[in-house]
């Protein structure tokens, strides 16, 4: 309980310079992916509230979406070094793009689906595995699916584990899901 209190306090005091550092790191990583549509994604991220938006269930503080996205990337780099670097960058940093607001981004689709719709509207070309990982990052994979699609499995586990770092009121639910997926 004490640890959770400390975490929430730390979250509430995430400084502006720290948020800028997170933003710079994310932009540098995305710029390193040379792919049609990435320029548009970066431009629209900067026009949106992606770098100040907060998550709903965890990372509930200004800059939470960006900090969480970078946290997922850092976990995936360690957990799946055999995956293409660009795929880790794209799937980790953009899986929650739907949590940000931009006037040109439609509100259609669920969480993962909406992220893929937004990326598609920016003209970003996703590989099949990147699309699958982002589209279904909140859907429970069967063990067979997880074996066949390691990028998706890695994103789901990294997403859930990073969510625990700054938990919201649904922490018990997140804990349960993490155990379920961590095979």
Q: Which of 122, 111, 113 is nearest to 46 (CA)?
A: 122
Quick one: 39 or 138, whose CB is closer to Fe ion? 138
**Cβ closer to Fe ion: 44 or 97?**
97
Interface segment toward Fe ion; rule CB under 5 A; list 44-52, 79-87, 155-163, 171-179: 155-163
Instruction: Decide whether 96 or 130 has the Cβ nearer to Fe ion.
Output: 96
CA 56, CA 120: separation in Å to the nearest integer? 24
Instruction: Please say which residue, 33 or 55, places its beta carbon nearer to Fe ion.
Output: 55
The CA-based dihedral angle spanning residues 21, 44, 149, 182, taken in that order and rounded to the nearest 10 degrees? 40
Q: Which of 159, 166, 168, 174 binds Fe ion (CB under 5 A)?
A: 159
CA gap 67, 84 in Å, rounded: 22
The residue within the footprint of Fe ion, chosen from 96, 105, 117, 157 (CB under 5 A), is 96
At its nearest, how many Å lie between Fe ion and the CB of residue 2?
Answer: 26
Beta bridge partners of 58: 167
In terms of DSSP H, where are the helices of the chain? Answer: 2-12, 16-31, 38-47, 64-79, 85-94, 111-121, 128-135, 143-148, 150-163, 171-181
Query: Taking CB under 5 A as the criterion, which residues in 101-140 touch Fe ion?
Result: none
By rule CB under 5 A, what string of x and - marks binding of each residue 37-76 to Fe ion?
A: ----------------------------------------
List residues binding Fe ion (CB under 5 A).
96, 159
């Amino acid at each position: 309980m004490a640890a959770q209190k400390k975490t929430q306090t730390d979250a509430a005091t995430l400084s502006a310079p720290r948020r800028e550092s997170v933003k710079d790191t994310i932009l540098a990583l995305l710029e390193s992916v040379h792919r049609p549509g990435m320029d548009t994604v970066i431009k629209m991220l900067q026009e949106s509230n992606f770098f100040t938006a907060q998550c709903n269930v965890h990372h509930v503080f200004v800059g939470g979406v960006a900090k969480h996205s970078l946290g997922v990337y850092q976990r995936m780099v360690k957990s799946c070094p055999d995956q293409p670097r660009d795929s880790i960058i794209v799937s980790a940093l953009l899986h929650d793009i739907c949590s940000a607001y931009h006037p040109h981004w439609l509100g259609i689709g669920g969480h993962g689906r909406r992220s893929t719709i937004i990326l598609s509207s920016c003209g970003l070309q996703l590989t099949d595995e990147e699309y699958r990982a982002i589209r279904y990052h909140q859907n429970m994979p069967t063990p067979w699916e997880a074996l066949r699609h390691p990028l998706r499995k890695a994103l789901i586990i990294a997403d859930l584990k990073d969510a625990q770092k700054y938990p919201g009121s649904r922490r018990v639910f997140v804990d349960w899901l993490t155990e379920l997926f961590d095979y």
